[in-house]
Structure 1
């Protein structure tokens, strides 16, 4: 098996695809760990963006004008600026200010780069989730809301039991698309030295000059993840479809 693997990797190297780093535990183990870190970032940001999106939606649709205006301003700012710039502002500016303040009290900064990539991506994608859900709420038939009111349901009960479940189904295709974008955006973690698959690949190809081979692996990795997210989204659309609400 080892001889066959060496032969295959040698043949691939002659064709321009140098995967021989997989034979070296010093390089292979960090690469495999980078795959795990990338998956952890994606899972954490999907959960975080869902929470952020719902919180922003509640704020925008709430009765407190100042809170709704603040949430709307945050959404517009987030949607109008690049994700990478937001990440740098969070990690290089806000994190530095926190570090300086904690140093004055002789305390180490507990917020590591992993925290900042998850936080920034969660808030960024949460803004898009909130807009998708808002569109879902706007698409609800007036008769449905009137029927819920006639049953004596208060505003909170209507939101959680009637409006949100139906709006979620309407917005689901857009939410799935947002999730796909989130998977791709997770590669930005390498910009602040989080040891994801992209960062570990950069460390390897600076030593071996095998950019092509590693780029192929990165593309296959993200392609497989986005395909899985897309397929899961299609399954949810069929599973949660309500007769009378779209084809």
Structure 2
């Protein structure tokens, strides 16, 4: 293993790429940990955004205007403002206010940068998920809804057992695209010093001046993650396809 690593580093050096940091445990260990943190961010934000999207969809479709209107305002505000600005507002403003409030009670703030990244990205992409699902609901055939109503299903049963499963199939390509964008957006975590692969790479190249070598690693890493998400999405589309539906 060590021989192969040295051979790789030597071959990369001949190509003008400096990966000598892999031989230094002081830099290698945080870098590998950064890869793990990035994967954790992707998993957490995918799950969180899916939940946020479903909750926003339910709120948007609620009959009570006092619930639907704020949900619509939140979706529009979230979709139309930069993700980085939202992250700064949450971490530098809201988190600071929480810290000051808890400090009066001599309590440490339990919300770490990782939490704020997951929260902001989940809500941000959740708004896009909700709109994709709403389009899926709008595309449902009227005959399907009338048939469900004629069978005596109440509104809640129709939503969970008929409308949502069918709308999900229609919206799935858009949802997968949102998840791909979400994977790439996790790189913003480095903006508030979350120790992901991007942040750890920045720490290394400020000392070694090997920006190109590490940028190639980052590009390949996120390219692999997005490819896996796309692959899972295509598999899910085939798995959930209903023969003849929508034809």
| Range of TM-score over shorter length | over 0.9
Give yes or no for contact 1:52–1:126 (8 Å, CA) kept in 2.
yes
Match of 2:131 in 1: 131
Query: Does the alignment pair 1:50 with 2:44?
Result: no
**What does residue range 88-237 of structure 1 map to in structure 2 within 5 Å?**
88-237=88-237
Q: Is the 8 A contact 1:42 1:186 kept in 2?
A: yes
What does the per-residue CA deviation read over 1:172-207, in whole Å, with 9 as the maximum and x for residues that have no partner? 000000000000000000000000000000000011
Give the Cα–Cα distance (whole angstroms) in 1 for the partners of residues 50 and 103 of structure 2: 33
SS of 1:242's partner is coil
Query: Does the CA contact (< 8 Å) of 1:53 and 1:126 recur in 2?
Result: yes
3-state DSSP class of the match of 2:178? Answer: helix
Task: Quote the offset at 1:139 in angstroms.
Answer: 0.1
Q: Tell me if the contact between 1:114 and 1:194 (Cα under 8 Å) persists in the aligned partners.
A: yes
- 2:81 is matched with which residue? 81
Task: Assess if the C-alpha contact under 8 Å between 1:169 and 1:240 holds in 2.
Answer: yes
For structure 1, list consecutive stretches of 5 or more residues without a partner in the other structure. none
CA distance in 2, matches of 1:246, 1:142: 12
CA deviations 1:39-97 (Å, max 9, x no partner) are 00010000100110000000010111111000000000000000000000000000001
Aligned mates of 1:136, 1:8 — CA distance in 2: 49
Unaligned 5+ segments in structure 2 are none
Q: Which residue of 1 aligns with 2:27?
A: 27
